[in-house]
Amino acid sequence: MGKDTIETLKKIIKERVVIIDGAMGTMIQKIRPKLTEEDFRGEILKDHEKPLKGNNDLLSITKPEEILKIHEQYLEAGADIIETNTFSGTTIAQADYGLEHMVYELNKASAELAVKACKKYTEKNPNKPRFAAGAIGPTNRTASISPKVQDPSFRNVTYNELKKAYREQIEGLVDGGVDIIFIETIFDCLNAKAGIHAFMEFKEEKKRDDIPLFISGTITDRSGRTLSGQTPEAFYVSMKHSGMLSIGLNCALGADLMIPHLKQLSNISEVFISAYPNAGLPNQFGEYDQTPEQMAKAIEPMLKQGLVNMLGGCCGSTPGHIKAIAEMAAKYGSVREPKPKNMNLRLSGLKMFEKTDDVVFMNIGERCNVAGSRRFKNLIKKGNFTKALEVARSQVESGAQVLDINMDDGLLDGEQSMRKFCNLIASEPEISTIPVMVDSSKFHVIESGLQCLQGKCIVNSISLKAGEEQFLKEAKEVLKYGAAVVVMAFDEEGQATTAEKKVAISKRAYDLLVSIGFPPQDIIFDTNILTIATGIEEHNNYGVEFIEACKEIKRTLPYAKLSGGVSNLSFSFQRLNKLRESMHSAFLYHAIKAGLDMGIVNAGALPVYSDIESELLTLVEAAIFNKSSMATENLLAYAEKYRESMKGGTKVKDNLEWRNQSLEKRIEHALVKGIDKFIVEDTEEARLKAEKPLHVIEGPLMDGMNVVGDLFGSGKMFLPQVIKSARVMKTAVAHLIPFMEEEKKKLEAQGILSSSGRKKVLLATVKGDVHDIGKNIVGVVLGCNNYEIIDLGVMVPCETILEEAKKHNVDVIGVSGLITPSLDEMVHIAKEMQSKNFKVPLLVGGATTSRMHTAVKITPHYDGHVVHVLDASRAVNVVNTILDPERVEEFMEDIDDLYEDLREEHISNLQSYSFLSIEEARQRKLAIDFDKHPPVKAPSFIGEKVIDDFPIADLLPFIDWSPFFKTWEIRGKYPYNKYPKIFEDPTVGKQAKQLYTEAMDTLKDIMEKKSLVVRGLVSFYRAASVGDDIELFSEKDEKVGVLYGLRQQLVKERENDPYLCISDFIAPSSSNKQDHLGMFAGGVFGADEMAADLKKNNNDYQALMIQAIADRLAEAFAEYMHKETRVNYWGYANDENLTEAELLSISYQGIRPAPGYPSQPDHTEKQTMWKISNIAEKTKIELTDSNMMLPGSAVSALYFAHPQSQYFAVGKINKDQVSSYASRKNFSMEDTQRLLGPILGYDA
């Protein structure tokens, strides 16, 4: 469409919502079952050495009629813009297929197909012009993230490699005639910046300003971040330099989940907004269930709220979806005006930073500068980048809003050091949250830094020192990188020292920059803060000259910013820290008033201006403003007089200052902070002042716990802190108990924490289940909120629960369970409560429970209130509400409505399941060719081996700490959701670190005292599969048992996908191949007893800590033993050399599925393991009636070694398989359906 494209698009977008097409991949998926490898190859690639099936972009050459048909279907549905079939059309992506040489041809051919379709439909209706957009995907590599966990500075692609690849793609697309370049599905902004750079260079060289640029990013999950960690606002700021006509979001999320992030983008964007979400979220089979009507309805709020200018569809969307969206959008006309032009300086790291009027001064952290920090320079020279990162982190923690990085030193490779350090901070979210100032006197070093940073940076610096030609050349490159720029007050004659010269150079540079399109708000002048009080007379007025220049630049150069290196001012007073800090603070106070916007300062080392000693401030300001010829001498004399005190810096106040507060405030502080050091003496003081001991509990102690409850409820305290608070509370109460017992006639002997009016909550882990950490946490949290807790412990039969509930006249019953058999026990409890005419509310919780199960299986059996409680943080609100007569009715109406909806959804889901018959599923099993891929070698022994009193120290490298934090309900948000990144989470990081430190202290104590014993067993047997089952044999080939398998039955989207069962990984008995299977059981002994003793001593916190650590040790023992099996006992991977991270990410050969979990969801299979290997007798790990293991911290698994073995989920199964399974196991159908209840695909 040529030069008219941009104006035509603007006109249409201002009139109505423009429609973008739907998913090309989804439509190709629909025809792929018909496409063979030969179809992908065509004639031109029939002899190509690599498989090509799945290379969808290639179909534009080998099956152009199919791609053209898809384009036309979308145009027929109402699309205004269709995207070319080039999502993977770069040399980087095509390298997987060995087709780098065809990239230009592939893009040109794809573009020509899209242009042809658009031309056809534009000619049909000239009033509705159609546009072909050249789709540029993100590639399959990321420039901001290391693929090597052990080396976060490593990258498998460089900025320049990406730029070159994108340039070649752009050439092909434009030569093919596209109207628009569309850089989409951006998960890493640095990749996109390389694409933008390539496009800007292309336009400049080819003089093609007529091609508009569209940008679309991907928010990868509900955290609201791209994969590389940026918020929508930071993403926008990083892209703004591109000159884009529109920006938007696509992929990863459905419309409903995309809206909050789209709102953030729309609220800031000065350009048009696009959105093309997925057709909902994928189901468990990777398919998209949202119908066209549902998707259109989900998108409609975007129009009602005025968030978008363009709409389309991504994964799962089809022409039907686009038609529905187009018809719905047609009702609205144009709904969004781009935001007015913003003239504030905006920068970004992972988050956006905006220099508004409210931000009086921007602190630029100075300590990551080899020229300004001796410590930092030494660390870099020694290659100690880990410690160097700590310097950067401390700058951020001290308040730096921008981080200055400088590697200019004669003994350093500045380019390499800059690149490595910038790559490293990209993997440190706490640091990379803020923008970076890339600082160097060498422009190639600056570029090496910019090529590693996805955010909008500041370049420090360029100048007119080498003349205008060089100045403009560098400025244009800075513009292509999308950075703001610092301009130093130098010209061909040298450095400006007077206000007049500073202003003149700045004015000249400003005019040159604006003439090439540099945004004036991105121009920052550093007019040189020079050293004063040196003893040289001409230096005395440098402070005045700088301040006067600031005033004039602000008056004459609109929107320009001012910066300076503040530490230069005081260089003549080396090592007199207090004096220097006072000079910097006073100078900034006045310079900021004159217009200074930012400065390179040590943000953590500045006293408040008003706190500077009066005499010192007078002398400092006399020097800054050159008030006296004696100013320097007077300052020197003061410095000499107080030299020793001048060497100090700002100090942290005594952390025991809180002890000076009132008694009530001291008690509150101790409870909130979990400090028990002084609580007994403070409680005694309160008792002596109170009329009764009980009044201390009901007064200051409960007041303090109410503060704890409020802080916890608002998310300002975290669970470990609350449990520590409870420990302090119990210590205080324990002190009061003897005094309360003296008043037996006035007080009840029991009820330690309250008066007789307290509500009672009974808690129990149900029969057969031994996991109680979650239940214990709920008990502590409710106890902190003045509920009396009757905790019956674990493995509690239904009869005991109900008897104790009646005995104590409880107000609420709460039941918990971890394993699937516990679900049936909860149903049984509900039925018994109904038959015995209970009326009290029943709360259901635990890892295996769900709202769906509660609604479908439990609620129908009990007329009383039944509520599923997700976690401890919700328990207080639920109990408070359900026991409040004024709120309970409305609350339960909402719950009942929700559960009714869930029951209807369950019925609908059952009706929608599509199953293969079990016979057909077996025919479509994973048919491993055991002749070509034989079983691995035999284990080193057949039979059992006991491992007793295993050293805990050897397990430390195998501990996965991420679940530990989830146990305590400490949840970081992406990218801080896993250990050790969770320590950097801005909300929970500090608490997570403290919790981890205490865990390590506890672990150290456990190892020193040998408090816990780790014991286990590993065993191996000859094995052969028979159908879905595995027969096991001793060394003498005597059959010792059978493990029964369950097979996937739900129909899969891809026709060739196998239907898996664990027996598929073992050679069949008919193959005459010798195969084997291993078993493992391991436990941590002593934790349950330690926890019980700690609870008796009112130390719930440490009891929970012991249990949580024991669970981690059990899992680490399983990981360790699996490695030992692979490397030694079985030895099929004796050359394995994996890192800890690779171990935890399962980067090894073989699997260890556990009975009761997704690959074999029947817990009764443990009974076979225990019988064959005699596990209970040899290890003392026992099974409960519900097949739970005792001790509670125990793990068991099966070992499969074949390279093609893989983890999978059986998923829902149908009645024919259940019947077969029951028959093979000699179980009744009723019992089998009960055991397999959670995976039944029908209503039993």
Q: What is the mean pLDDT of residues 720-740?
A: 75
Model confidence at 607: pLDDT above 90: no
Q: Give the pLDDT of residue 643.
A: 64
Q: Give the pLDDT of residue 650.
A: 42
Using CA atoms, how far residue 642 sits from 266, 385, 577, 638, 768, in Å, is 57, 38, 12, 6, 74
Tell me the pLDDT tens digit for each residue of 347-383: 999 999 999 988 888 889 888 999 878 899 999 999 9
Q: Give the pLDDT of residue 900.
A: 87
Distance between CA atoms of residues 296 and 782, nearest Å? 44
Tell me the pLDDT tens digit for each residue of 247-270: 999 998 999 999 999 999 999 999
Model confidence at 1110: pLDDT above 90: yes
Using CA atoms, how far residue 499 sits from 238, 468, 543, 590, 624, in Å, is 34, 22, 10, 16, 15
Q: Give the pLDDT of residue 612.
A: 86
Model confidence at 1222: pLDDT above 60: yes
Task: Give 219's contacts (C-beta < 8 A, 6+ positions apart).
Answer: 225, 226, 232, 249, 252, 253, 258, 261
Q: What is the mean pLDDT of residues 1027-1051?
A: 95
Least confident window among 48-52, 305-309, 1097-1101: 1097-1101
Strand pairing category for 494-495 and 490-491? antiparallel
Task: Give 694's contacts (C-beta < 8 A, 6+ positions apart).
Answer: 736, 740, 743, 747, 755
Q: Give the pLDDT of residue 602.
A: 63
Residue 481: pLDDT band (50, 70, 90) is: very high
Tell me the pLDDT tens digit for each residue of 940-972: 999 999 999 999 999 998 999 999 998 887 888
Least confident window among 262-266, 278-282, 908-912, 1000-1004: 908-912
Q: Which of 526, 597, 769, 1029 is catalytic?
A: 769
CB 982 within 8 A of CB 964: no
Place of tokens 């590639």: 139
Higher pLDDT, 429 or 1055: 429
Q: Where are the alpha helices (DSSP H) in 494-642?
A: 499-515, 542-556, 577-594, 614-624, 631-641
Instruction: Look up 662 and say whether it is catalytic.
Output: no
Q: What is the mean pLDDT of residues 322-351?
A: 95
CB 457 within 8 A of CB 434: no
Q: Give the pLDDT of residue 770.
A: 66
Instruction: Look up 822 and say whether it is catalytic.
Output: yes
Higher pLDDT, 1084 or 974: 1084
Q: What is the mean pLDDT of residues 1152-1167?
A: 92
CB 166 within 8 A of CB 192: no
Tell me the pLDDT tens digit for each residue of 482-512: 999 999 999 999 899 999 999 999 999 999 9
Tell me the pLDDT tens digit for each residue of 70-104: 999 999 999 999 999 999 999 999 998 999 999 99
Q: What is the mean pLDDT of residues 1122-1127?
A: 94
CB 135 within 8 A of CB 86: yes
DSSP line for 869-922? --SHHHHHHHHHHHT-TTTHHHHHHHHHHHHHHHHHHHHHHHHH--B--HHHHH
Tell me the pLDDT tens digit for each residue of 188-232: 999 999 999 999 999 999 999 999 999 999 998 767 889 888 999
Residue 1143: pLDDT band (50, 70, 90) is: low
Distance between CA atoms of residues 700 and 1069, nearest Å? 74
DSSP character at residue 455: S
CB 800 within 8 A of CB 813: no
Q: Give the pLDDT of residue 66.
A: 95
Q: Which of 771, 865, 1122, 1163 is catalytic?
A: 771
Tell me the pLDDT tens digit for each residue of 1052-1095: 867 788 999 999 999 999 998 999 999 999 999 999 899 988 88
Model confidence at 680: pLDDT above 80: yes
Residue 1026's closest CA among 1064, 985, 1075?
A: 1064
Q: Give the pLDDT of residue 948.
A: 93
Would you give the end-to-end CA distance of the chain in angstroms? Answer: 63
Residue 1136: pLDDT band (50, 70, 90) is: confident
Model confidence at 243: pLDDT above 80: yes
Count the alpha carbons within 13 Å of 1162 in the hemisphere toward its beta carbon.
25
Most confident of 407-416, 674-683, 803-812: 803-812
Strand partners, 842: 813, 866
Q: What percent of the chain has pLDDT over 90?
A: 64
Cis peptide bond N-terminal to 152, omega within 30: no
Q: What is the mean pLDDT of residues 336-346?
A: 95
Least confident window among 32-46, 686-700, 1025-1039, 1124-1138: 686-700
Q: Give the pLDDT of residue 723.
A: 62
Tell me the pLDDT tens digit for each residue of 886-899: 889 889 988 998 99
Q: Give the pLDDT of residue 1039.
A: 94
Q: What percent of the chain has pLDDT over 70?
A: 93
Q: Give the pLDDT of residue 740.
A: 66
Model confidence at 111: pLDDT above 90: yes
Q: Give the pLDDT of residue 872.
A: 62
Phi, psi of 1037 (to 5 degrees): 65, 25
Q: Where are the alpha helices (DSSP H) in 913-1055?
A: 918-923, 962-967, 989-1009
CB 926 within 8 A of CB 1058: yes
Q: What is the mean pLDDT of residues 558-570?
A: 92
Least confident window among 55-64, 762-771, 904-913: 904-913
Place of tokens 């099929």: 1132
Model confidence at 749: pLDDT above 50: no
Residue 456: pLDDT band (50, 70, 90) is: very high
Residue 646: pLDDT band (50, 70, 90) is: low
Residue 620: pLDDT band (50, 70, 90) is: very high
Instruction: Look up 1216 and say whether it is catalytic.
Output: no
Q: Give the pLDDT of residue 1197.
A: 96
Average pLDDT over all residues of the chain: 89
Least confident window among 126-135, 173-182, 426-435, 447-456: 426-435
Residue 218's closest CA among 192, 237, 181?
A: 192
Q: Which of 461, 582, 822, 1019 is catalytic?
A: 822
CB 272 within 8 A of CB 281: no
Residue 722: pLDDT band (50, 70, 90) is: low
Count the alpha carbons within 13 Å of 176 in the hemisphere toward its beta carbon.
34
Model confidence at 177: pLDDT above 50: yes
Q: Give the pLDDT of residue 717.
A: 60
* CA gyration radius, the chain: 35
